[in-house]
């Protein structure tokens, strides 16, 4: 059995527990602290993008910071391109990833969505090496299937005959979509200081990043200026056109909703918001785009009949 094998499985189990507790966007401090395995403190992240705990032979994780100088992106084949450390293909970190590729061992990948917060994805596999382009191709695999297979290959710590490039491309595509969604959410909630722009509720677990122009629209880009931080009640009301935000940042409630009488939730949750001004981000260029609000407001008026 490879000496890394037990530690790698323990790391993936620990990550699964943290995601159950905190969601799949984890704090840098949590990853840096890591967990205890035997006599060792196993950290999941370090100062460099390719990280190998001292007790291991091969790298355990790779990460991309939100402001990384490296241009990690997805290639035309749908796989992640992860940049070498530096420009020397023989740097020990690059050699470590190359050995992980030849040994077919899984890693975890952390992608910074905002400063201090990382989307956690595992297992990922190095599937190709491009020395000329100074990058590796990285594929994501189905966590449950891969880990079941890995536990069944304890002699080598590898996944061999069950490799499926088509499955991995599909799972990687799903992760790419999730990365965009999580980045949008974290950016929007941060600029609104983690509160609902309408009612000021401050529990992040009950907040969503709502698109002004829906993401199914080709113009519904995941940009902060196309977003509003809304609690789940007001997100649902916004999507159902029960209320709208005007281009001058005021809340307008449908007349039929204002005329209803249906208890305190309707009164305090919707009716009393009418003509109130929303909470706005403080940063330049962070406020909701008035042109997008105008377009969404037109839909709201049309819904009124």
Classify 88 in phi/psi space as left (phi over 0), alpha (psi -120 to 50) or beta: beta
Mean pLDDT calculated for residue range 33-55: 93
pLDDT of residue 270 exceeding 50, the answer is yes
Q: How many residues does the chain have?
A: 305
Angle at 237 between CA 231 and CA 238, to 5 degrees: 85
* Token pair recorded at residue 87: 């420009």
- pLDDT-wise least confident of 115-119, 158-162, 227-231: 158-162
Q: What is the pLDDT of residue 169?
A: 82
Work out the percent of the chain whose per-residue pLDDT is above 90. Answer: 68
- pLDDT-wise least confident of 94-103, 169-178, 228-237, 244-253: 169-178
pLDDT of residue 291 exceeding 90, the answer is yes
What are 203-221's pLDDT values in tens digits?
Answer: 999 999 999 999 888 788 8
Nearest partner of 288 among 223, 194, 200, judged by Cα: 223
Give the CATH architecture of domain 5-186: Roll (2.30)
Work out the percent of the chain whose per-residue pLDDT is above 70. Answer: 90
Domain boundaries, the chain: 5-186, 192-304
**What DSSP state is assigned to residue 193?**
T
pTM of the model: 0.83
């Amino acid at each position: 059995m490879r000496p890394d094998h037990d530690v790698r499985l323990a790391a993936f189990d620990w990550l699964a527990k943290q995601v159950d507790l905190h969601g799949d966007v984890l704090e840098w401090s949590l990853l840096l602290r890591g967990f205890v395995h035997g006599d060792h403190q196993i950290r999941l992240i370090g100062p460099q993008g390719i990280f190998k705990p001292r007790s291991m032979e091969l790298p355990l994780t790779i990460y991309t910071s939100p402001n990384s100088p490296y241009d990690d992106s997805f290639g035309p084949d749908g796989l992640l391109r992860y940049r070498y450390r530096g420009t020397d293909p023989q740097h020990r970190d690059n050699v470590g990833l190359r050995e992980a590729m030849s040994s077919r061992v899984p890693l975890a990948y952390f992608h910074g969505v905002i400063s201090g917060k990382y989307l956690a994805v595992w297992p990922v596999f190095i599937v190709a090496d491009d020395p000329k382009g100074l990058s590796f191709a990285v594929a994501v695999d189905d966590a449950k299937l891969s880990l079941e297979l890995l536990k069944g290959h304890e002699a080598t710590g590898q996944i061999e005959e069950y490799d499926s490039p088509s499955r991995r491309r599909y799972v990687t595509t799903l992760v790419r979509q999730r990365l965009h969604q999580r980045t949008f959410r974290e950016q929007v909630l941060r600029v609104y200081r983690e509160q609902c722009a309408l009612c000021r509720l401050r529990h992040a677990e009950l907040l969503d990043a709502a698109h002004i122009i829906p993401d199914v629209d080709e113009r519904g880009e995941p940009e902060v200026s196309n977003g509003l931080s809304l609690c789940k009640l007001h997100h649902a009301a916004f999507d159902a056109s029960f209320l709208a935000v005007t281009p001058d940042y005021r809340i307008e409630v449908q007349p039929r909703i204002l005329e209803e009488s249906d208890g305190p939730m309707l009164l305090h949750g919707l009716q009393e918001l009418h003509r109130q001004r929303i909470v706005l981000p403080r940063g330049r260029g962070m406020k909701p785009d008035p042109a997008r609000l105008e377009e969404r407001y037109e839909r709201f008026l049309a819904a009124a009949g």
